[in-house]
Chain A
């Protein structure tokens, strides 16, 4: 056992942290405005796929942009259904997830590779090479963004309005804040971040798309939001934590001699068990907006 092993754990963690953090921070915005989107998993999956198509057509940056806009588009549909048409947020979220499962499986088949597609080398986002290893530039975005969102939610008028809509839509409505529009924009922007996260996974980090690429990360991000109690900086901490557990599973499997003792399937369970334990541990100590998950109807 030498330093190189630990260094690789750090490096994987840093990369695994990104999709969970971006998705969770986005969902913090949406939930602050009162919309609970369980379709994040589907958005990750969809944008991982569309991002690949974009990258193939016009390079990695276009790929990331296409992923972002995929998230924005799906988020807008979700916002229309849930904010304007008072739809059931849970059901709409499940609909997004099911749609993504089918659409991506269908799309991969059309690309001519059942269930698996490798992003061409020239379409991959080039990593930043340093003396200590290669890192994806998106990591920087994931590290800075929580601070921006923190500032936005807690120190601007816009943030106050978003939180007012989530906490007490009636009062916000009376105060002249457009409730539906605020909810729609918040959830759409949040979903756009999930879209960026999805594209990051295929175009930058993993370099391939599969039907299982999201691997529950959308739901782990939801757990991170629970953990954070809707505070963006804690969402970053949660993202780092869950990213670490995910990497731990990958890392342990890479250690010599482990596979012979513990079957890989059990090591792969680590991030999911960790998520359950963390969520079971923090619940009861966090408080959510009163209007979360309930469609607002003007009386």
Chain B
């Protein structure tokens, strides 16, 4: 485990935080008069109880892996990039716009993927330059760029990419540019291979190349890294470029690999939120490219199951995002596992006393 940069304790902490999050979710459901047990039963039965559910959990995990990579690569360099949301919108726009061109099947998809990665990258570069040359805090700049992307995408969806027949959505991605569906009847597309492949690439880059070593050094100790000859500016630019590409691809897989419409709806309803969810996924995956994969499947499963939970137990599915927020809050605690042990010991101590 040491070789790939994770230990057992982070895993334990993630599981613990997951349980805390589900506990908070149960309290919320209780408080609003729902019964949490059947709700959670429905949720997990749906997402992890059948091959069909699992395929949909993986389909939901696909964009989350990519947006989580954006956050993770930034966090490894000590940057708090919360701009995956906006970068993802731009990627989705580019992926749809690529269908204005005519290209042979397969090549067209590759072209669209590259275009989306480029769009996300360009969108990430402006906050990167502001950070590197003007010192603008990346939290503020990326959030502002999320809003700019939000309005820009609104404009594109309504005016440029609009479907001439159905005005509530963009044109559908051309058949030649779609990602093939892996299992008939599910939403699981070839996009999962793109996402998992990129996660492995990010892992190799971060742990087995000089550039990756410099990124991690800049995050672990900026002063020492600078003294050692790592250019802070170059690191910032590199991290935003990598992150922008990943988030751009998230927008691409969500449009090119999402049946039945392969389009973006007005109000961005079918692509909104993946960027923010990616932050939580990255945290649960301990900002490690390989840890992100199971974390995304866990969260993608929660999302897939939550739809059924809404139908069966009538609990609104947005509940899972509140659960995720609680998980992240718990993960903010350093050495969560140690704290937990202290609590247990204290409780035992008090038991003995009474």
Chain A positions near chain B (C-beta within 8 angstroms): 38, 41-42, 77, 81-82, 85-92, 94-103, 105-107, 109-110, 215-216, 219, 222-223, 226, 263, 265-266, 268-269, 272-273, 275-276, 279-280, 283-284
Asked if B164 is at the interface of the complex by the 8 Å CB criterion, the answer is no
Residue on A nearest B328 in the bound complex, by CB: A95
Contacts of A263 in B (CB 8 A): 155, 159
Q: With A94-B279, A263-B155 in contact, do A275 and B329 touch (Cβ < 8 Å)?
A: no
Question: Among A102, A110, A215, which residue has the most Cβ atoms of chain B within 10 A?
Answer: A102
B143 and A216 contact, CB distance less than 8 A: yes
Q: What DSSP secondary structure best describes chain A's contact surface?
A: helix
Task: Output the least CB separation between A74 and chain B (Å).
Answer: 10
Closest Cβ neighbor of B151 among chain A residues? A265
B141 to chain A, nearest CB (A): 6
Q: Which of A82, A95, A276 contacts B325 (CB 8 A)?
A: A95
Q: Known contacts A98-B279, A226-B137, A265-B152; is A105 also within 8 Å of B143 by CB?
A: no
* CB-defined contacts of A266 to chain B, threshold 8 Å: 151, 155
B324 vs chain A, min Cβ distance (A): 6
Most chain B CB within 10 A, of A103, A107, A263, is at A103
A106 CA to B148 CA, complexed, in Å: 26
When the two chains form their complex, are residues B332 and A219 in contact, meaning their CB atoms are under 8 A apart?
A: no
Q: Which residues of B sit under 8 angstroms from A102, Cβ to Cβ? A: 318-325
B30 → A minimal CB distance (Å)? 13
Binds A, one of B128-136, B165-173, B233-241: B128-136
Q: Which residues of B contact A88 (CB under 8 A)?
A: 332, 334
A100 partner, pick from B139, B140, B325, beta carbons under 8 A: B325
Taking the complex as formed, is B339 at the interface, i.e. its CB lies under 8 A from any CB of chain A?
yes
A280 partner residues in chain B, CB cutoff 8 A: 130, 134, 136
Question: 26 A–B contact pairs at CB < 8 A?
Answer: A41-B143, A82-B332, A85-B333, A87-B332, A91-B328, A91-B332, A94-B80, A95-B328, A95-B332, A98-B277, A98-B328, A99-B322, A102-B318, A102-B323, A105-B316, A110-B316, A215-B147, A216-B143, A219-B139, A263-B159, A268-B151, A269-B148, A272-B148, A273-B148, A276-B141, A280-B130
Answer whether residue B283 sits at the interface, using C-beta atoms and an 8 A cutoff.
yes
How far apart are the CA atoms of A41 and B276 in the complex, in Å? 13
Whether, in the assembled complex, B291 has its beta carbon less than 8 Å from a beta carbon of chain A, the answer is no
Give A39 Cβ to nearest chain B Cβ, in Å: 9
B152 to chain A, nearest CB (A): 7
How many angstroms between the C-alpha atoms of A109 and B317 in the bound complex? Answer: 9
CB-CB under 8 A for A98 and B136, given A106-B319, A266-B155, A273-B148: no
B333, A81: Cβ atoms under 8 Å? yes
- Which residues of the partner chain B approach A97 to less than 8 Å between Cβ atoms? 276, 325
